[in-house]
Amino acid sequence: MAGTAGTPGTPRVLRAMNDRAALDLLLAHGPLSRTRIGKLTGLSKPTASQLLARLEAAGLVLATGTTEGRPGPNAQLYEVDPAAGYAAGLDVTPERVLAAVADITGRTVGTYEVPAPARKATGAVVRQVTEALDGAVKAAGLTRDDVRRLVVATPGAFDPTTGRLRYASHLPGWHAPALLDDLAAALAMPVEYENDVNLVAVAEQRLGAARGHEDFVLLWNEGGLGAALVLGGRLHRGWTGGAGEVGFLPVPGAPLVRQVTKANSGGYQELAGSQAIPRLARELGMNDVPSGPYAEAAATLVERAVTEDTVLGRLLLETYATRLATGLASLVSVLDPELVVLSGTSLTVGGEVLRALVEAELAELAASRPKLVMGDVTEQPVLRGALESALAATRDEVFDTSR
């Protein structure tokens, strides 16, 4: 906690740094005593006591219970006040908008889902977003004024130079030139927009399989095939926000994508995306291939192949693993990541069996040998990532005691 000797305001800065360190420890560990906070931060008992008194007066921590059942006198425990701030996230798909509100500790306190608008007009999208947000806020017992920040997850990405949504032609109503301005006017709070797969990577980096990793690739396969790239601990979005749109990647065994505005028209998506799994199952002569949405059908087939362990099921998994590794080999060869995370239901239902098959195939196709793991965040990972992103900025704002 360095500072320049004699610099005005240095004690305040140091206090703020200690305050933030203590708050982060409380978030990570849960309720802690004054003595435990002192040991973890290296502060003396009197300084730790002053710190906790300061944070309690600022409405950032609460005294909660004691250390009953342990040797010695009971000690007062402290925790971050959940009501110190709230943040919201939205997960947008062509079928619906799912909204959630979390308190400052990360606990989800309200959710609400709205179906996609029947019309493709900008006004319908704005109403859909505000209805979803207000529904989640109401479910949390709050008002919209209580929410400090919103992160919206969408397929594709908003081009930073034009403000237009790209790489997501299947999302009706989200391509109007004035959409972001209209949403800003309707929401009246800080709003950030991020690619859905990027936010899955955020969730895995903060809560799941990528914790402690600075360089990793996340491959997502559910409604669409995509990737997120984290380099030096930060998301790499690319010049137009299109980094990770690997569904268009040219790969052997699939036609080239000549019209990239057409969804699922070739490339890696057609080779290994969810829609390829039912088709592959039929080609192999498997019976009872599910109909309906291809993401659900693909997950059912992969899960069945793992649990039933038949000859055809094994062949399905091996072929699928080869196709996945074919595209991953290009990413790994260019980026040389420390870790590859497989996420999305069409991958995670395959568990260790599919993971091992993909790893073995990738070892044959790429010179580098990244660790390959299945994602840990499987419950609404896009929405969880949106909340984690919104909470990070909210905590920076709420926990700043230097002002």
Residue-level pLDDT at 170: 82
| Residue found under tokens 């790499």 | 236
Full-model pTM: 0.92
Q: Which residues contact 17 (CB under 8 A, 6 or more apart)?
A: 1
Residue with tokens 């059912």: 300
pLDDT of amino acid 264:
55
Cα 281 to Cα 345: distance, rounded to the nearest angstrom: 17
pLDDT number for residue 119: 64
What tokens were used for 382? 């896009």
Residues of the chain with pLDDT under 70: 1-9, 68-73, 118-122, 259-265
The Cα 221–Cα 350 span in angstroms is 12
Predicted confidence at residue 118, as pLDDT, reads: 67
123 Cβ contact partners less than 8 Å away, ≥ 6 residues apart? 182
Structural class in CATH, domain 10-80 = mainly alpha
Question: 99 phi and psi, to 5 degrees?
Answer: -115, 150
* Architecture of the domain delimited by 211-376: 2-Layer Sandwich (3.30)
**60-106 pLDDT, tens digit each:** 999 987 876 555 567 899 999 999 999 999 999 988 999 999 999 99
CB atoms within 10 A of CB 169: 15
CA angle 155, 156, 158 (to 5 degrees): 120
The domains spanning 84-199+383-398 and 211-376 adopt the same CATH topology: yes
Structural domain spans, the chain? 10-80, 84-199+383-398, 211-376
Q: Tell me what pLDDT residue 163 has.
A: 86
C-alpha–C-alpha distance, residues 272 and 96, integer Å = 25
d(CA 32, CA 79): 7
If we measure between CA atoms, which residue out of 337, 322, 326 comes closest to residue 217?
A: 337
Kindly give, in sequence order, each residue whose CB lies less than 8 Å from that of residue 15, ignoring residues fewer than 6 positions away: 51, 54, 401, 402
Give the separation between CA 260 and CA 268, rounded to whole angstroms. 12
**Confidence (pLDDT) at 317:** 97
Question: What was the pLDDT predicted at 69?
Answer: 56
**What's the confidence (pLDDT) of residue 5?**
43
> What is the number of other CB atoms lying within 10 angstroms of the CB of residue 395?
22
Q: Domain 84-199+383-398 maps to which CATH number in 3.30.460.80, 3.30.420.40, 3.40.630.10, 3.40.50.10800?
A: 3.30.420.40
